[in-house]
Structure 1
Amino acid sequence: MTDDRIVTNGPRNGWNGQGVNADTKTASCPAPHSGKTPAPLPRADRGAKSPASDAGIAGNTGTSNTSNTSNIPGSSIAHASKTDASRLPSIATAPTLNSSETLDACRVGRLAPSPTGRMHIGNVYAALAAWLSVRAERPHTAADPNLPILPNHSGILRLRIEDIDTPRVRKDADRWIMDDLHWLGLDWDGDPVYQSDRFDLYDQALHDLCDAGLLYPCFCSRAEIRAASAPQEGDGYVIYPGTCARLDSTERDRRLAEKRRHSWRVHLPQEQLDFDDAVFGTQEFDLARQIGDTVLRRSDGLYAYQLAVVVDDLLMGVNDVVRGRDLLRSTALQLWIRDRMAECGWHSQPSIDTDLPAAAHHAHTATRTPHTANNFGNIPAPSAAIRFAHLPLIDDPSGKRLAKRDRALDLGVLREEGVTPESVIGYCAWLLRLRNTPEPISAHDLLKDFSWDPLRADHTDRACDPTALFA
């Protein structure tokens, strides 16, 4: 596909390559979302109690930020919606960290559920692994004897509700998820962050990538793409063939002027990207051949996961990512996007995160450095210190991946049937190979024994039979 792809090793301040606009014009970049983004569903947890627990979890209040692409907020990436922290699971008291050296030693992870339904066993399995990865981190030692040590752990765990795919968001699902996490004993630090409050950040990121000459509009339908592409490596992943990357500027501008429905894709070069995974070891991906040009904003105006997660992980200072092995390919893509954003001036720096309570300030705050041709190299690659751990998938007896439609493994159903949180945690600990048998145990009691070694030794996908579970 060499001749079909845009060349990206030329000037970075405009469109590059065959058939692509050579100058940078505001009109060539996507319009901001202001006034066009579908409004997020009302959050049913505003001051309400969970139907499954008298304790309840108070929810966010307020409205989403309006789109503003003129700047990137700093420590005031204010999510106008705030959850009543007094009703969240308790958090450890943490010291204020004021140097980048200290922050490098601070593990920052995230729980990132999508509010599309109730949690199931597969979700708990992934959430438990992410929680243990951060909470089991041993207190760091430093040359500075005055550096305070966390009483129980040295990591920060954030809760991010990934609710940008508004057609799939279910009313109350965010509250169910928070209540289930509380029931399981999986706590987090600070207020939940809602992606639906952050469209202005995604707007700015998209414009910066566009200004760097990395995006182009794609007018292809899904049917057209599938007809022109072949699934890769037997997993059904479709590589975009670069059809719209080859449009000349006249044709592209004509279609845009006609307001033809289109998405925005990022061009990936013919380069190899490698990263280390705590479970699956070294991973190598040919960006153009194995991933291809990827949608960052959909034709319906919604932002794609691949952009939103990069922006959020970068600005939240996340350096510990735990998720399913089906996202290994996405990790390579996201690392590449993250480094391009660093070249555009996006990076994290130690500061006070206003989303964490005063007693728990560990944070990276978004900053945006004005960039010129002379200072790209001065921005450290933000992906260098991230630890990734991709988990084996959980399948049903037929070999299909578990989904929220599998009601037998729904936490709401299990809780109604009297299954204890220790039983659920114990079963997931067994799936993680932290226990030889699925015996009941609390999440806290797993901390002292947590290691990635058992999964490294056995990272085949797991089978879960709903009919035999907790029988």
Structure 2
Amino acid sequence: MTSGYIGRLAPSPTGLLHLGHAATFWTAYQRAQEHRGTLLLRNEDLDPQRSKQEFVEAMLEDLAWLGIEWAPPIVVQSRRVQLYREAFARLLAGGFAYPCTCSRRDLALMVQAPHEESDDEPVYNGHCRPVASASSTAIEPGMNYRLRVPDGETIRFSDRNLGAQSFIAGIDFGDFLIWRKDGLPSYQLACVIDDAAMGITEVVRGADLLKSTARQILLQRALNLQSPAYFHAQLLRDEHGVRLAKRHDALAIRTLRQQGVAPEMVPMIAQSLKTR
């Protein structure tokens, strides 16, 4: 008999899965088993330049090799763009979002808070932010859109692994991207919509996404969606102390498989990297 627990795996097919992914996904699998719950799989393929079918096939093979099981069907983000567009339209109508004309070069030249390893989006300086919020239902093509954050408000949540967390809007993170000029949602918006639509009760992911959780809580609030619980896992690092990424080919699951490493050895190898 299953409980009401629903977790998820959310890999992106932009490269081979590595030990860091394996450790986080194994934790998600164990959490679902401990709660006698359900684990779902989401293919986060919203990067059209880097997402490849060969990586989709590889991640499915690697997860199966690790012994990680999930309940069908697989959710594919590229097939759900209309759902994201409808949510984005609601944000526009509610006055939560505004268009941004800043180029990547503009953003690079702005005075920003130091770029942190734990965050993939620097603090925006509000260059395109309008003086007052205004509702609109028109989506301008070829335009980026940002969510206006409540400057000075502390966003708090209790992480089931790392304890109490808090981030200040406008200081720790600024107005963040929610819709891209190529007509696709940002990671933040797509993640929030899918977690809600899939009925996810606990999100297990890496500690590098702690600040993203604060952003996503603001999106959930604006869209009247319930927030799931969060469990952020410790990151794995290489011999130089750098967190693992898809560039670490030597620690890719596919490479370990080719070297004859047994699946049951992977959690022990991952644990050794956690202690560095």
Corresponding residue for residue 187 of structure 2: 305
2:10·2:43 contact (CA, 8 Å) conserved in 1? yes
Q: Which runs of 5+ in 1 are unaligned?
A: 1-93, 96-104, 138-152, 250-255, 348-381, 432-460, 464-471
Q: How far is 1:429 from its partner?
A: 5.1
Q: How far is 1:234 from its partner?
A: 4.8
Corresponding residue for residue 206 of structure 1: 88
Q: How far is 1:311 from its partner?
A: 0.1
Corresponding residue for residue 120 of structure 1: 18
1:229·1:238 contact (CA, 8 Å) conserved in 2? no
Q: Which runs of 5+ in 2 are unaligned?
A: 134-139
Q: Distance in 2 between matches of 1:226 and 1:246?
A: 21
Corresponding residue for residue 172 of structure 1: 54
Corresponding residue for residue 281 of structure 1: 163
Question: Does the residue aligned with 1:192 lie in a helix, a strand or coil?
Answer: strand
2:112·2:125 contact (CA, 8 Å) conserved in 1? no
1:107·1:134 contact (CA, 8 Å) conserved in 2? yes
Q: Return the index of the structure with the highest Cα Rg.
A: 1
Q: How far is 1:387 from its partner?
A: 2.1
Larger helix share, 1 or 2 = 2
Q: How far is 1:268 from its partner?
A: 0.5
Quick one: structure 1 residues 234 and 190, their matched pair in 2 at CA, closer, same or farther if it must change by over 3 Å? closer
Quick one: structure 1 residues 233 and 303, their matched pair in 2 at CA, closer, same or farther if it must change by over 3 Å? closer
Q: Distance in 1 between matches of 2:18 and 2:58?
A: 11
Corresponding residue for residue 159 of structure 1: 41
2:16·2:55 contact (CA, 8 Å) conserved in 1? yes
1:220·1:262 contact (CA, 8 Å) conserved in 2? no
Give the counterpart of 2:175 among 269, 287, 293.
Answer: 293
Quick one: structure 1 residues 202 and 246, their matched pair in 2 at CA, closer, same or farther if it must change by over 3 Å? same
Q: Distance in 2 between matches of 1:291 and 1:421?
A: 39
Corresponding residue for residue 5 of structure 2: 107
Q: How far is 1:191 from its partner?
A: 1.2
2:81·2:184 contact (CA, 8 Å) conserved in 1? no
1:390-401 aligned at under 5 Å gives the runs 390-401=232-243
Corresponding residue for residue 468 of structure 1: none
Q: Distance in 2 between matches of 1:425 and 1:326?
A: 20
Corresponding residue for residue 244 of structure 1: 128
1:386-431 Cα distance to aligned partner (Å, 9 max, x none)? 2211122111112222121211111222111111111113323555
Give the counterpart of 1:414 among 256, 261, 273.
Answer: 256
Larger relative CO (CA 8 A, sep 6+): 1 or 2?
A: 2
Give the counterpart of 1:130 among 6, 25, 28.
Answer: 28
2:157·2:165 contact (CA, 8 Å) conserved in 1? yes
Quick one: structure 1 residues 296 and 462, their matched pair in 2 at CA, closer, same or farther if it must change by over 3 Å? farther
Q: How far is 1:302 from its partner?
A: 2.5
1:457-468 aligned at under 5 Å gives the runs 462-463=275-276
2:205·2:233 contact (CA, 8 Å) conserved in 1? yes
Q: Distance in 2 between matches of 1:224 and 1:117?
A: 29
Quick one: which amino acid aligns to residue 97 of structure 2? L
Larger strand share, 1 or 2 = 2
Aligned residues: 267
1:232·1:290 contact (CA, 8 Å) conserved in 2? no
1:168-225 Cα distance to aligned partner (Å, 9 max, x none)? 1023211111111111110001211100110010000000010001110000012212
Q: Distance in 1 between matches of 2:108 and 2:275?
A: 30
**What percent identity do the matched residue pairs reach?**
37
1:393·1:462 contact (CA, 8 Å) conserved in 2? no
Q: Distance in 1 between matches of 2:111 and 2:105?
A: 10
Corresponding residue for residue 146 of structure 2: 265
Quick one: which amino acid aligns to residue 81 of structure 2? F
CA RMSD in angstroms, aligned pairs only: 2.1
Question: Does the residue aligned with 1:264 lie in a helix, a strand or coil?
Answer: strand
Corresponding residue for residue 136 of structure 2: none
